[in-house]
Amino acid sequence: MNSKEVEQALKQLASETEEAKKSDFFKDYLNIMSRFWDYSPYNQLLIYLQMPSALRVAGFYKWKQLGRNVMKGSKAIRILAPAKSRKIKEDKEEKITYFRPVSVFDISQTEGKPLPDIDIEAEGQTEGIIENLLHFCQEQNFNVTFEELREGLHGYTSNNSIAINKNKSNNTQISALLHEIAHALLHKNSSLSKEQKEIQAEAVAYVAARHFNIETKSFNYLALHDANHDKIMENLKVITETARLILKGINAH
Ligand SMILES: [Zn+2]
């Protein structure tokens, strides 16, 4: 795959991403997702400790607004919400912020109207690619494991360890592995924003997967990370180099 072909592929990805963002479905999705709280890292930890499998969490009334009911007997997840109160001290009124426990519930504890979901799966399977990628990872000292991960998570990287969701289709695993390899190659000590890291990793996965004739839903993933044409094309050089490094590494020139 030469640089021209990579550039061509990226232009295609950039316009697919722009299209995805324009769709009504995507606008609805963002609108609904914005109703879930943006939890602080501390609360994310509290949620994780009480329910490691939690995927989408909201309070009782928020779920009601979304057309779903919390099922009877569900055990609440307790987090801390800031609240304000007033105190009279030496004739002066003081406003103080304190934290009070509030109850939230995971989507698995609710029933009712399905939430919209953005499709980022790649269907089908392609023989022999995973094996070659694993060989490449070995050469790079990346340790890859296939694990039980939550539904929406295809994989993650920490340092030189890559985990891939073992319950996904073969082609989804290939594109997830490509994505995580790109993170491991590019972002170990990187100060780039999360958004930019995701753009680079997913675009590398898209370009390489395309080389194997695997159709990914990278445009949806990139739209979720607020990518657009310029943000994708800005990264042309690093994406080209990384995709070619991987393809060369597995002997698919
Ligand atoms: Zn990523």
Distance 228 CA to ligand 1 centre (A): 17
Distance 58 CA to ligand 1 centre (A): 25
Say what the pLDDT of residue 36 is: 63
Distance of CA 60 to the CA centre of its chain: 25
Distance 196 CA to ligand 1 centre (A): 10
Is the pLDDT assigned to residue 149 strictly greater than 90?
Answer: no
The answer to whether 245 and 207 are in contact (CB under 8 A) is: no
Sign of CA dihedral 48, 52, 57, 60: negative
Distance 150 CA to ligand 1 centre (A): 15
Say what the pLDDT of residue 253 is: 43
Question: How far is it, in rounded angstroms, from Cα 130 to Cα 148?
Answer: 18
**In terms of DSSP bridges, do strands 92-106 and 77-89 run parallel, antiparallel, or are they unpaired?**
antiparallel
Distance 142 CA to ligand 1 centre (A): 16
Residue ranges per structural domain of the chain: 3-33+118-249, 57-112
Non-local CB neighbours of 104 within 8 Å, separated by 6+ positions: 47, 57, 58, 59, 76, 77, 78, 79
Distance 60 CA to ligand 1 centre (A): 31
Q: What percent of the chain has pLDDT over 90?
A: 60
Question: How far is it, in rounded angstroms, from Cα 223 to Cα 198?
Answer: 11
Start-end of H helices in the chain: 3-22, 24-33, 41-50, 60-65, 129-139, 170-186, 194-211, 218-224, 229-233, 236-249
Averaged confidence pLDDT in the chain? 89
Report which of 241, 230, 150, 246 is spatially closest to residue 196, judged by C-alpha positions.
230
Distance 85 CA to ligand 1 centre (A): 41
Say what the pLDDT of residue 33 is: 66
pLDDT digits (tens, 9 = 90+) for 233-246: 999 999 999 999 99
User: What is the four-CA torsion angle of 230, 233, 234, 240, rounded to 10 degrees?
Assistant: 170
Say what the pLDDT of residue 252 is: 56
Distance 32 CA to ligand 1 centre (A): 23
pLDDT digits (tens, 9 = 90+) for 14-66: 999 999 888 887 877 776 766 665 677 788 788 888 887 777 889 999 899 88
Distance 195 CA to ligand 1 centre (A): 9
> What count of other Cβ atoms lies within 10 Å of the Cβ of residue 71?
12
The answer to whether 106 and 77 are in contact (CB under 8 A) is: yes
Question: How far is it, in rounded angstroms, from Cα 63 to Cα 36?
Answer: 9
Distance 202 CA to ligand 1 centre (A): 7
Distance 173 CA to ligand 1 centre (A): 13
Distance 180 CA to ligand 1 centre (A): 6
Distance 28 CA to ligand 1 centre (A): 24
Distance 35 CA to ligand 1 centre (A): 23
Distance 198 CA to ligand 1 centre (A): 5
Distance 161 CA to ligand 1 centre (A): 13
